[in-house]
Structure 1
Amino acid sequence: MSSKLLASLISMALFLPLGAAQAAPPSSEAAAAARLVRAGETEGLTGQVVFQLLLGEVALQRGQLELALSAYRDLALRTRDAGVVRRAAELAGAAQQYGVALEMVRLWLELEPESQSARQMQAGLLVLAGRLDELDGPVAEMLAAEPDNLGTNFLSLNRLLARYPDKAAVQAFVERMASPYPKLPEARYALALAAAAAGQLERGRAEARQAQVLKPDWEAPVLLEAQLILREKGEPRIAEAAQLLNDYLKRQPDSTEVRLHLARVLIGAKDYHQAREQFDQLLRKDPDNPDVVYPVAMLALQEKDLETARTQFTRLLELPFPDRGAARYFLGQVEEAAGNKAAALAHYEQVPGGAQYLPARARAAQLLADQGQLDAGLLLLRQSNVRAPKEKVQLAQAEAQLLREAGRHQAAYGALSGALKAQPEQPDLLYDTALAAEKVGRTQEMETHLKKLIKLQPDNAHAYNALGYSLADRNLRLKEAHELIARAVSLAPADPFIMDSMGWVLYRQGKLAESLATLEKAYGIKADPEIAAHLGEVLWKLGRRDEARALWQKAVAAAPDNEALQATLKKFQP
């Protein structure tokens, strides 16, 4: 067989990614092969072989993967050329015909028994095919064949098996592979990862500790054990994890990764002072590392250290930090907190996209509305560049919020109902449109939306509560209202606003003692002005008017513009 012709036909396929080969126009390699055939350089090749070579190449160029695979598989069996066999295996894998791919790999290994590439492909295909029980031999041979790369290969084991669903089977497999290498730290670490993935947290910790004993300066098992400590028993064990990381830092004080992890653990414990000390050390060592600068800036903002936050977020804009939108958004937050509304608005308007784009647009619109430029704020929202359905929901909610705050309830209802027409089963829009409909007197529409939401989400406590409260507040169908709110209470028993609704329906039913106890409990959790209005009314009805007046006065001082509170005061203290 002419190796020249075979090489010309398969070299591009072997060294280019499969997707690129499929998408490309007819290659120069295929054209060269055609010229060779026309020139008569076909010594040792039958017409059928030449035809299949060209057929496979042209089919691949046209994206006809099945046809290309059929041609190459037949050609591989005819020629037993290792390059052709390898390409047939690759095409079969891409077509998810794993049985064919494994057949080709076995032939490849017959032709090139020492080929590590063939063994690696075989292992990957066995995983993809879900045939873990056949994996021991190929992987054990690969590990034994490269003693100088043993540690690196063990670190690859869990990546190889990451998508395999039976994590217990993966753990057992890694156990078998690691058993000949009890003193290899990477083998112990691979065992720790496999045990953790299988939910065996204590075993994972034990293996991670063993890896640390074998290789004391290695960061990875220390970080893994800290993560496993935080996962144990469903409760964070922050002090123990922090101590582990601190002990390592005493031995290896220059470990950036461990110190960064310790700082994050301390933030989780709300020990912001200690976390700040760790970040300050990191910043002194590596002032241009965005992974350090960003959490320092965020922590400073959390602690209301606005000057440090401003400095570090500004610094992020000078560094190769990928999320510039986040830096701009949080600079806006800093300037808002400092009272610099014009500067905050400028930052918000410069957020280019990403996760903070819509929050920034909403804050910018709110700032404009606060300055008496409601129409400008609404225009800014309406001109926002959003396409995803979820983003359109958030945009409609932001617009309705501005309109509600301005007392333009009809316009708020219009914004939400328009968005609901485009997404008629979107839960957040159903809920918000229902509340907006009630505000403009469309109570039947409100009920329709909430009942639809309950049908879509039978465990939505707020939907039951909103419908039940509306009925109770209008003093209608009180038995039904009580049942709806009771269902909400069963779903969210600690929610003070749902407790308030229960207290209110009990009041409407004339059960004053039960109502009082429920409302007092709700107000003890959340001193909300509407809860205060309801509690004061029950106290008034019970003849405890001085207590009611004192409660209302306190609530008015905290929320002088609350509509429900003002309505209650007007009713009882005109």
Structure 2
Amino acid sequence: MSFTMLLNQIINMLSSIKRYSKKTAPLWQSASSAVFCLLVLSGCSTLSNTNDSGDHQHTAYPHSLSIEITGQKTPIQQALAAEFALRRGEKEEAFTRYYDLANSTRNVSLTEKATRIALSLNNPQFAAKATDLWLSIDPLSHAVYPIRFRVFILDKQVDKLSETLLNAYNNSVPLNFITPIINAFASSPNYLAIVDTALNQLPNHLTTQFEIRSALAHTAYLQGHFQRAKKIAQSLVNDSNKSKTLLESNVYFILALIQKQEEQTEDAITTLQQGLALYPNEYSLISSLIDFELTNQNFDIAKQHYNEAELPPLYQSQLSIHYISLLIQNGKIESALNVLKEIDYLSSGFADQFYFLEASALASQDMKQDAIETLSKINGQLYNTATEQMVVWLYDLKHEQDINDIVVYRFKKRQNVEQILNIMQHHEDNLKPQLSLELANSILQQKPDANPIRYKKALLVDSLGNWQTTETELRYLLNKDPENANYLNALGYTLLVRSNRYEEAIKLISIAYEKDPKNPAIIDSLGWGYVLQGDAKKAEPLLNEAWQILPEAEIAAHYGEALWIQKKYDEAIIIWQKALDSTPNHPVLNETLNRLNPSMLK
């Protein structure tokens, strides 16, 4: 057996031990026989020792055993040391050891290992160093070029990106890795600009290659340079037709999308048909073609494309979802329901989506009660969305009294506190605060530690005229979380405006202010406290600060009153008018103006 083969076996054995040990006992307990073999190969001592009577005693190796081998290390010993460093989580040391060993042995497997470690460290410098070595050993490797391309994008090295592509071309490595990597950076305009620059500085003989031109079309499109992208894509399609060279399917997709944007729908359809003649099972082309045909009101043609599509099950289900959604959007409800009848929801892997589409179609036919029953079958990732849609439709049906029972029942399965807050707010937006309060009480019986719901309840009961319950609930919350600035401020503000306990109120608000001095609600509370204590001058800078951070109607009411008290009438009117323009029916603002300047409300 050659040394390289032996070394690769050792590396594979170490990797298999690492994988195996994750599922069973610690490495040194579960893989002792394998480790024994490795240690024998490396010249280390065995896993047992002998006492004075000659009996063998097993040595218990700790999980974090570190092997130090003195003197000149053999390559196998170096591999062991590198793997043990990786096992201990010392990735930088592991990289260095693997890199040095790869460099000395010229072993491709070791360079790959070093590269993978560099990538896991998110270290572009290490990755570049490792792939430099990899290329020096095997410049024809197809695997190394995509790695270097991605690394140099992240490291923003334009010249290295161009060099990587040139080297790949010179070594006859296919350039089909470029576009998928570009797509991975689709939402990162800075990186796309770097790739675009690198592509455009390639030598002329390379920029004529179809893969490079396709990449240029992609970067232009993703950066919003649609005319440039269209020009490149159209020239690629024309040249492909002449030379019979196969293009990437995305070129047809990009060209068709731009044509559709420019309302050249017939041209877009023709482009997609050209692409599908070459890639008959390409999801993006089929789904777009169906979309464009429906846009042109060609419902029978769209249906034919859908029925003739032969995709893998996953993509077929996604195509069904896309097609049915478009039918509903175009008012073809019966057609959508007929397509749904042909689908086995449960075996599709997308049962939630199909139930939701069915419910939407039924609701479009004024069958919202049936739609709600359909939504009740949803049990996966759309569970919470279905609950909120039920609430909307129950309000549409004037059955809002049924909402809380349904929501409380569904909460038992998925305790989503944020959703309860949303539904409480929906009740309040529909002028049903009592339903909001009843929902809060029911949920708190199930989950007494739902602090956000209790906090919202506390604020709600104050608006319903029961501020004593607000105080009780806020003190309950503060007992559990005495450092919470929002709770402190809410209790202080409640006492401030509902009682004459000004000293206690301002003390609570001052503590909240110390904890969160940039919170406009707290700043406003403190300023208003000073106004109520008769010190409008001290209040003014605080209320001004709150207004600058959050120009909201209640803050405007307080700030304007502080100015008005100081006879700064014009300044007060300016603040109040701004608030009136944005929130004309705010109760606190209207109450203030009724007292001080009622003419503004006429």
Q: TM-score, normalised by structure 1?
A: 0.64
**CA apart distance, 1:94:** 2.3
Whole-Å separation in 2 of the counterparts to 1:178 and 1:243:
37
Q: Which string of whole-angstrom CA distances, capped at 9 and with x for unpartnered residues, describes residues 111-134 of structure 1? A: 334444444444443334333322
Mark the CA change 1:226 to 1:319 in structure 2 (over 3 Å): closer, same or farther.
farther
2:351 maps to amino acid: R
Whole-Å separation in 1 of the counterparts to 2:358 and 2:217:
41
Aligned twin of 2:38: 33
Aligned length: 476
Mark the CA change 1:171 to 1:338 in structure 2 (over 3 Å): closer, same or farther.
closer
**CA apart distance, 1:196:** 2.9
Mark the CA change 1:146 to 1:81 in structure 2 (over 3 Å): closer, same or farther.
closer
Aligned residues: CA RMSD: 5.2
Matches within 5 A, 1:220-235: 220-228=250-258
Matches within 5 A, 1:364-403: 367=394, 370=399, 373=402, 376-387=405-416, 390-391=418-419, 393-394=421-422, 396-397=424-425
Whole-Å separation in 1 of the counterparts to 2:547 and 2:374:
39
Whole-Å separation in 2 of the counterparts to 1:441 and 1:450:
25
1:34 maps to amino acid: L
Q: Which moved more, 1:220-229 or 1:477-486?
A: 477-486
**CA apart distance, 1:487:** 4.3
Q: Which string of whole-angstrom CA distances, capped at 9 and with x for unpartnered residues, describes residues 469-523 of structure 1? A: 9999xxx999969835624746xxxxxxx46779x969966659x95xxxxxxxx
CA contact 2:145–2:168 (8 Å) conserved in 1: yes
Matches within 5 A, 1:90-101: 90-101=116-127
Mark the CA change 1:457 to 1:10 in structure 2 (over 3 Å): closer, same or farther.
farther
**CA apart distance, 1:325:** 1.4
Matches within 5 A, 1:287-302: 289-302=316-329
Mark the CA change 1:434 to 1:470 in structure 2 (over 3 Å): closer, same or farther.
farther
CA contact 2:290–2:302 (8 Å) conserved in 1: yes
Matches within 5 A, 1:5-84: 5-11=6-12, 26=27, 31-37=36-42, 46-47=72-73, 49-84=75-110
Aligned twin of 2:387: 360
SS in 2 for 1:142: helix
Mark the CA change 1:363 to 1:460 in structure 2 (over 3 Å): closer, same or farther.
farther
Mark the CA change 1:265 to 1:481 in structure 2 (over 3 Å): closer, same or farther.
farther
Choose the corresponding residue for 2:161, options 120, 135, 140. 135
SS in 2 for 1:180: helix
Aligned twin of 1:438: 463
CA contact 1:56–1:69 (8 Å) conserved in 2: yes
1:383 maps to amino acid: K
Is 1:213–2:214 an aligned residue pair? no
Whole-Å separation in 2 of the counterparts to 1:21 and 1:138:
37
Matches within 5 A, 1:124-523: 124-146=150-172, 149-150=174-175, 152-156=176-180, 158-159=182-183, 165-177=190-202, 179-181=204-206, 183-216=208-241, 219-228=249-258, 237=261, 239-240=263-264, 242-248=265-271, 257-258=284-285, 260-264=287-291, 274=297, 276-277=299-300, 279-286=302-309, 289-302=316-329, 305-318=332-345, 321-338=348-365, 343-355=370-382, 357-360=384-387, 363=390, 367=394, 370=399, 373=402, 376-387=405-416, 390-391=418-419, 393-394=421-422, 396-397=424-425, 405=432, 407-408=434-435, 410-411=437-438, 422-423=451-452, 437-440=462-465, 445=494, 451=521, 464=552, 483=575, 486-487=578-579, 489=581, 498=583
SS in 1 for 2:380: coil
SS in 1 for 2:358: helix
**CA apart distance, 1:352:** 0.9
Structure 1's unaligned 5+ residue stretches are 231-236, 491-497, 516-574
SS in 2 for 1:353: coil
Whole-Å separation in 2 of the counterparts to 1:295 and 1:161:
25
SS in 1 for 2:205: coil
Aligned twin of 2:476: none
Structure 2's unaligned 5+ residue stretches are 46-70, 471-492, 498-508, 510-518, 525-544
Whole-Å separation in 1 of the counterparts to 2:168 and 2:436:
70
SS in 2 for 1:239: coil
CA contact 1:306–1:334 (8 Å) conserved in 2: yes
